[in-house]
């Protein structure tokens, strides 16, 4: 199996990094937002049930769960830095998974709400994966990592071995690994921990155009964002993976709904991939009418403008061989983040295509911001990816979609660089479909307030 090389997956020289940090970025050519029946599918209840039932009778052996979980909980607790905010949270402690532990800690901290709170959450330095999210029926706490494992085990059903990968920070591996061993004891789950390749870290530029240095005089490097995880995805031993963010952990009450939808999406992605392979086989065999059938199939989910010009057999084969993703989206109720849009770009084939992509809010400028404000759907990061046999994903990356932002590092204002986001520019050339999910399938925890009342 061909794997993407480090050189092709976001390993930059200092010269390349400086160019990306200083040169103006080309504005993204967003054509339109994806809306219902124009890029976003809405499945019937009957169709949903049929797909979910098909999963239960034929669980794909190649399936795995892949959860980016490298974040710390620092920002989650940023909103409760004041004594007043902690006092307000105390009033809601019965609705927090760690509420009982907080009450117990209060006595040990001589009645100090602040000291007891920060003791419970390890001064806000817990890995997000280990923050208690739910209180289970037996009274035990369930952190985010355990919630994902519980969900995956329930979705697969008895007798099925599950495969799960978490990507974490290097300094979190020991704590997270300990919890994985505890939670999975006696459970048919194969769980792997992996870290982001440090070679994909990016340097930090000072206002005077020099690099921020370490105390030892080396160029300071910071993680280059989740796009760098494309190398990890390339190395996966699964043919199909469900990708879900660590903070979008299924609560016990919402698990049946989310199981049903994930099962249905896996079956649909599998059928989609099977059809693609059949069409490629027909094209390679020169079967009569194969080009017409391939075009008709592609027109079902690609933008109509892509077919104004004729497609050769070779072009069709190249398109059908791409990795695929079926992406769940939810109605946009003002959430901050990305959403589904039609974007025009020149890809590795040299052709200008309008493709379905996930675009982050920070990628818009004044010329196209109105489309963002009028968009109808939001990306909760809940997708099924068909990885394919060829894992040279670098050719489908839109390298122009890196992000540059101003931050404060070591007390200095600096420019920092992030690679194209994993489900944004890093997957720009993937065959993509969007399907509308119920809003209850989106359960993010961005701040500690989102932990209140999770069941």
pLDDT value of position 344: 95
Query: Which CA distances in Å does 187 have to 60, 159, 182, 324?
Result: 19, 10, 10, 31
Q: Please check whether residue 46 lies inside any domain of the structure.
A: yes
pLDDT tens, position by position, 138-176:
888 999 999 999 999 999 987 788 999 999 999 999 999
φ/ψ of 224, rounded to 5, equals -90, 20
Q: Does the CA dihedral 100-106-107-108 come out positive or negative?
A: positive
pTM over 0.75: yes
- pLDDT tier, 74 (very low <50, low <70, confident <90, very high otherwise): confident
User: Which residues form the domain of 409?
Assistant: 6-69+165-451
Please report, for the domain that includes residue 33, its CATH number. Answer: 3.90.550.10
- pLDDT tier, 8 (very low <50, low <70, confident <90, very high otherwise): low
pLDDT tens, position by position, 330-340:
999 877 788 99
Number of domain units in the chain: 1
- pLDDT tier, 454 (very low <50, low <70, confident <90, very high otherwise): confident
5 pLDDT exceeds 60? no
Element (H, E) at 264: helix 255-285
Q: Please check whether residue 139 lies inside any domain of the structure.
A: no
- For the ranges 15-29, 101-115, 175-189, 429-443, the one whose mean pLDDT is highest: 429-443
What secondary structure letter does DSSP report for 23? S
Q: Please check whether residue 113 lies inside any domain of the structure.
A: no
Q: Please check whether residue 82 lies inside any domain of the structure.
A: no
Q: Please check whether residue 206 lies inside any domain of the structure.
A: yes
Which residue(s) pair with 254 in the sheet?
Answer: none
Q: Please check whether residue 106 lies inside any domain of the structure.
A: no
The predicted model gives 411-431 an average pLDDT of 93
Q: Please check whether residue 117 lies inside any domain of the structure.
A: no
Residues sharing a CB contact under 8 Å with residue 295, sequence separation 6 or more, in sequence order: 307, 311, 316
Q: Please check whether residue 50 lies inside any domain of the structure.
A: yes
- Tell me the angle at which helices 313-320 and 255-285 cross, rounded to the nearest 10 degrees: 150
């Amino acid at each position: 199996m061909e794997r993407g090389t480090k050189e092709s997956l976001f390993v930059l020289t200092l010269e390349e990094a400086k160019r990306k940090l200083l040169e103006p970025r080309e504005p993204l050519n967003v054509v339109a937002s994806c809306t219902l029946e124009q890029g976003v599918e809405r499945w019937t209840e009957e169709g949903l049930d049929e797909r979910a039932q098909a999963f239960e009778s034929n669980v794909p052996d190649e399936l795995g769960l892949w959860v980016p979980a490298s974040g710390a909980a620092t920002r989650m607790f940023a909103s409760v830095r004041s004594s007043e905010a902690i006092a307000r949270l105390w009033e809601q402690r019965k609705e927090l998974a760690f509420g009982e532990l907080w009450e117990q800690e209060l006595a040990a901290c001589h009645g100090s709400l602040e000291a007891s709170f920060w003791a419970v959450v390890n001064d806000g330095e817990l890995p997000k994966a280990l923050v208690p999210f739910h209180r289970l029926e037996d009274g035990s706490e369930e952190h985010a990592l355990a919630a994902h494992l519980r969900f995956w085990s329930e979705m697969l059903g008895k007798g099925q071995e599950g495969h799960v990968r978490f990507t974490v920070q290097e300094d979190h591996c020991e704590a997270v690994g300990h919890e994985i061993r505890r939670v999975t004891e006696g459970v048919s789950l194969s769980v792997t921990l992996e870290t982001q390749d440090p070679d994909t870290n990016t340097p930090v530029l000072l206002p005077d155009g020099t690099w921020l240095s370490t105390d030892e005089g080396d160029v300071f490097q910071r993680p280059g964002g989740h796009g760098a995880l494309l190398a990890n995805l390339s190395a996966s031993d699964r043919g199909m993976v469900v990708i879900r963010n660590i903070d979008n952990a299924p609560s016990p009450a919402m698990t049946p709904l989310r199981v049903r939808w994930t099962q249905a999406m896996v079956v649909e992605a599998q059928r989609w991939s099977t059809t693609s392979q059949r069409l490629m086989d027909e094209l390679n065999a020169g079967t009569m009418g194969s080009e017409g059938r391939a075009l008709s199939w592609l027109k079902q989910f690609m933008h109509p403008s892509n077919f104004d010009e004729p497609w050769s057999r070779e072009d069709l084969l190249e398109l059908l061989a791409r990795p695929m993703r079926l992406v769940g989206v939810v109605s946009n109720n003002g959430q901050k983040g990305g959403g589904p849009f039609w974007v025009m770009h020149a890809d590795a084939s040299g052709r200008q295509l309008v493709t379905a992509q996930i675009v982050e809010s920070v990628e818009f400028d004044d010329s196209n911001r109105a489309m963002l404000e009028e968009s109808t759907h939001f990306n909760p990061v809940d997708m099924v990816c068909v990885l394919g046999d060829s894992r040279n994903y670098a050719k489908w990356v839109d390298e122009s979609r890196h992000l540059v932002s101003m931050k404060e590092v070591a007390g200095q204002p600096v420019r920092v660089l992030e690679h194209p986001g994993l489900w944004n520019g890093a997957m720009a050339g993937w065959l993509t479909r969007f399907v509308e999910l119920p809003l209850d399938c989106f359960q993010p925890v961005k701040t500690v307030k989102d932990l209140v009342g999770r069941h």
